Amino acid sequence: MGKATGFLEYRREVPGEIRPQERIGSWQEFVVPLEEEKLRMQGARCMDCGTPFCHAGQLLSGMASGCPAHNLIPEWNDLVYRGSWKEALKRLQKTSNFPEFTSRVCPAPCEGACTVGKSGQPVTIKSIERAIIDHGFEDGWIRPRVPAASTGKKVAVVGSGPAGLACADQLNKAGHAVTVYERADRIGGLLMYGIPNMKLDKQIVQRRVNLLAAEGIRFVTGVEIGEELPADRLRAEYDAVVLCCGATQAREMKIEGRELNGVHQAMEFLSRNTQSLLDSGLQDGNFLSAKDKHVVVIGGGDTGTDCVATAIRQGCKSVTQLEIMPKLPLSRGQDNPWPEWPKVQKTDYGQAEAAEMFGQDPRRYETSTKSLQGNEQGQVTGVHTVRVEWNQVDGRWIPVETPGSEQVLPADLVLLALGFAGPEAVLPEQLGLDQDERTNVKAELGDFRTNVKGVFAAGDMRRGQSLVVWAMYEGRLAAREVDRYLMGSTMLP
């Protein structure tokens, strides 16, 4: 550790941001990186503690504590402090395939488990990670590395999200001929179409895809396995198949008025906007427009926030975000001790932009949607809500409606950001895969084999809706087991 007292001498600093009023007219990333000298001081704040919880990557109370990828965080923090950026990059690449993604979209469970954060402000791990990988690309240190030898084995990876790309990257390094199938017109899965451009610039995604292609991975777009290409044919043509299709079955809301025009799943809204942005700069009109509309987003989380920010950039008249859960406290409660993920109130970029535009936080907590109302033309016009209180009954917390609190919010566009229920049914049915009670494909963590020989599953399709970093980590681990299956042993990490 280069600076033993760094965490006492330097305060936490995070990257700046372009002000909301200035950035809402753009679809570009708005984070302003810290200067190199400040980044070095932030690296010095790392304690190099004896037991670094920051890279523990475990589940505590059902939430991630520490980095699931087990990044060697204290090591590259120290190297950044010393100015050894190239060495820091080498440490980072030992455990992470795509730091440029996680450093932009990961909620940073590493920081939630940082020892400095136990009694102060945690190290800015996420910002340092982003600076390291950006240095690597800008300085030309990251170049295509084609495997020296081929094993003669062929592997198909279905799905090009974070799990699929990580799995393909590792298998390619092992010398296998890897083909990635993606049903969309671009590679990247949710990285490409599920996350808005201002949060993850698609040029950054494409840069990595181009690098993987240069290293020998074959990408096939516009082909849905199970539809255009039967799953059995895929099994016959490849020595192994890895399913990384995600948990893309959106959770539905079964209420009166769901069938009205103007009511859409959040992911449809986000993906169509990004596709139109990339295809034509939003000039082709092939997206759901919030312009001059009252928008109601039902559901919180990152997807809800992305909907708020996208609607604002499209020029909505107003935006309201409904959340059935109570507002979180500003600091950890006694039932949420370190190093658990801190369940505290945060204002994300979308809420900050809405507050700047409309003068108030768009979120309404402890609010339940009773029905959707529409006009004679079948167009949604309002959302019927009621306030709820959370009461404990027989050890379970249940929402109870508050009498006299009903309200109808004006709504021309309603977006359902309720999460995902599991993978779509086509592939599991065609292949005869065993599924659990949540419809996730059964494959043990650490083994990843399904009940069908030669077929593996990883990422959200196996574990359910989760973080990008979990998906990447599972893709890495699954590649190791596929390599072992094909070769009898493996040297993959």
Give yes or no: residues 259 and 116 share one domain: no
Give yes or no: residues 425 and 403 share one domain: no
In a domain, 357, yes or no: yes
Domain coverage including residue 232? 154-249+421-487
Give yes or no: residues 75 and 169 share one domain: no
Work out the burial of residue 359: count CB atoms within 10 Å of its CB; fewer than 13 is exposed, 13-18 middle, 19 or more buried: exposed
Give yes or no: residues 330 and 192 share one domain: no
Render each residue's pLDDT in the chain as its tens digit; 493 residues. Answer: 668 889 989 999 999 999 999 999 999 999 999 999 999 999 999 987 888 999 999 999 988 899 999 999 999 999 999 999 999 999 999 999 999 999 999 999 999 999 999 888 999 999 999 999 999 999 999 999 999 999 999 999 999 999 999 999 999 999 999 999 999 999 999 999 999 999 999 999 999 999 999 999 999 999 999 999 999 999 999 999 999 999 999 999 999 999 999 999 999 999 999 999 999 999 999 999 999 999 999 998 999 999 999 999 999 999 999 999 999 999 999 999 999 999 999 999 999 999 999 999 999 999 999 999 999 999 999 999 999 999 988 889 999 999 999 999 999 999 999 999 999 999 999 999 999 999 999 999 999 999 999 999 999 999 999 999 999 999 999 999 999 999 999 999 9
Give yes or no: residues 70 and 208 share one domain: no
Give yes or no: residues 24 and 102 share one domain: yes
In a domain, 467, yes or no: yes
Q: Among 368, 400, 418, which residue terminates a domain?
A: 418
pLDDT (0 to 100) of residue 2:
65
Total domains in the chain come to 3
> Of 193, 170, 206, 194, nearest to 97 (Cα)?
170
Give yes or no: residues 240 and 258 share one domain: no
- For 46-81, the pLDDT digits (tens) are 987 888 999 999 999 988 899 999 999 999 999 999
Give yes or no: residues 322 and 396 share one domain: yes
pLDDT (0 to 100) of residue 253:
94
Judge whether 172 and 97 are in contact, CB under 8 Å.
no
Structure tokens at 482: 């596929």
Give yes or no: residues 198 and 259 share one domain: no
Give yes or no: residues 410 and 481 share one domain: no
CATH number at residue 165: 3.50.50.60
In a domain, 145, yes or no: no
Give yes or no: residues 240 and 296 share one domain: no
Q: Among 138, 168, 192, which residue terminates a domain?
A: 138
Query: Letter for the amino acid at 102?
Result: T
Give yes or no: residues 256 and 241 share one domain: no
Q: Among 418, 441, 465, which residue terminates a domain?
A: 418
In a domain, 493, yes or no: no
Judge whether 196 and 105 are in contact, CB under 8 Å.
no
In a domain, 318, yes or no: yes
In a domain, 148, yes or no: no
- For 346-401, the pLDDT digits (tens) are 999 999 999 999 999 999 999 999 999 999 999 999 999 999 999 988 889 999 99
In a domain, 492, yes or no: no
Judge whether 262 and 282 are in contact, CB under 8 Å.
no
pLDDT (0 to 100) of residue 1:
61
In a domain, 400, yes or no: yes
CATH number at residue 45: 1.10.1060.10
Q: Which residues pair with 250 in a beta bridge?
A: 420
Contacts of 276 (CB under 8 A, 6+ apart): 282, 283, 284, 285, 286, 287
Q: What whole-number distance in Å separates Cα of residue 59 and Cα of residue 56?
A: 9
